Amino acid sequence: MSTFAARFRQYNDKHQLFRHSDRLLVAVSGGVDSVVLAHLLHAEEYEFAVAHVNYQLRGDDSAGDARFVEKMARSLDAGFHGIAVDVGANRKSGESTQMVARRIRYNYFDKLLDEYKYDVLITAHHLDDQLETMMINFIRGTGLRGVAGMMPDQHGVCRPLLSHERREIVEYARANSLTWREDSSNASDNYLRNRVRHQLSPLLRELGLTAGALRSTSDHLLTARQLYEDQLSAINRTTVVVNNGGIKIDLTHLLKGNYAETFLYEYLRPRDFTAEQVRQLLAGAEGSSLESANHRARKKGGVITVISVPGNTPVLESLEITRLPFSFQTRQGQFTIQLTERPASLVAENIQYLTSRILPDAAAGATPPSLHLRPRKNGDRLQPLGMGGKSKKVQDLLTDLKIPREDREQLYLLVDEADIVLAIPGVMITELAKVTPDDRTVLKIILTKNGQV
């Protein structure tokens, strides 16, 4: 037991997943993996609540799972959140039962994180799950992201048991006299994951795959994935231009190195374009275009232009502020950031003033390469002006301000080169960016709505 817990602590510290000061939300199905995770967090004296989704797919057994999880949560002095859903009624065209369940599950978890102000969502994915995920992605066809599997911390979801084998988890449960629920559907081979679990994974182990080798391979692949994504970001800065007319992607130099298809796919994938669409676009005639659910991409020479399809919510692009003044557009209106002399009054409607000390050599009129605008991410924190330097989660702040969920996704954060939040344009600034009596120049953010400041 001590070795199991020690490795849990070591993995959490290595990847800086969560702290004792965080409020945790733990996804618990009632199976042995999530039951052990909940008990381990309790033993390690973390504050957490349990979330359970009853899909009502197994009748009385599903209802029994929900009752079991709620009782367990109470026994651990943990909060409990549960919901029963009709999977069939929520199914969209082309979705399998597993896809519907996953979408419902994570939408519910996101709602709980938002409403109850939890800091981190934790799941009980383990090393065997990692192998299954890697193999499934490989079978279906994938790139580096897919074959690398799940990350310890991905989009605000933390997986502290990712280095533990399921065998170890069961041993921990038995050593601590824990009880859990068995899902009869796990014995079926109707799903690809179950076939990989029951047939392929045992064969790989029979052929010599060890837990140590799998951990090492997974670590190497995750490191390679990070390097890959860092390089994509570097290419993005020199290749992509975002303005009010849309997005322009200049692939000229990438075409020479045969990198264009890879980069374009990675860029367009979050906008619901498929790999086949990207291939068709690159191979198509001059002026050809393709559409996804939310965007339209058009080819002209070595440049791809991407625009949002009217009536759909656009995806915010990260922007580098290369010179001042700098303008950008959001649902709120058009923002302009400029350097100006400090006014007599710092209070004005639709205008924010920030200290020019956040710019390098601002008085000399230097450009501000250290400033960026980006969408918010799970876990973002800031120090609101007037709170004496106390830190607060951006998510909690926006909830407290009663900003609608759909509007929150269309807000930019102004950050420095260390990714520290300096302001939310149109909403608030932070202690780090407040104007001081010594400031002769200030950074001015102007919001223009329908042509009016």
Per the annotation, binding residues are: 29-34
- Contact by Cβ (8 Å): 379, 419: no
Binding residues for ATP: 29-34
CA–CA dist 247, 236 (Å, integer): 11
289, amino acid identity? S
Three-class SS state of 449: strand
Across 353-382, b (16+ Cβ under 10 Å) vs e yields bbbbbbbeebeeeeebeebbbbebebbbeb
Residue 442 CA: distances (Å) to CA of 231, 348, 389, 422: 34, 14, 20, 14
Tokens of 114: 């938002």
Which residue type, as a one-letter code, is found at position 279? R
Q: What is the per-residue burial (b if ≥16 Cβ within 10 Å, else e) of 203-227?
A: eeeeeeeebeebbebbeebbeebee
In whole angstroms, what is the distance from residue 446 CA to residue 334 CA? 8
Q: Report the distance separating Cα 303 and Cα 30, nearest Å.
A: 51
Three-state DSSP class for 297?
Answer: strand
Pair type for strands 319-320 and 372-375: antiparallel
User: What tokens appear for 78 in the block?
Assistant: 């943990």
Q: How far is CA 250 from CA 137, 276, 314, 321, 326, in A?
A: 30, 20, 21, 19, 21
Which secondary-structure segment (H or E) carries 193? helix 192-195
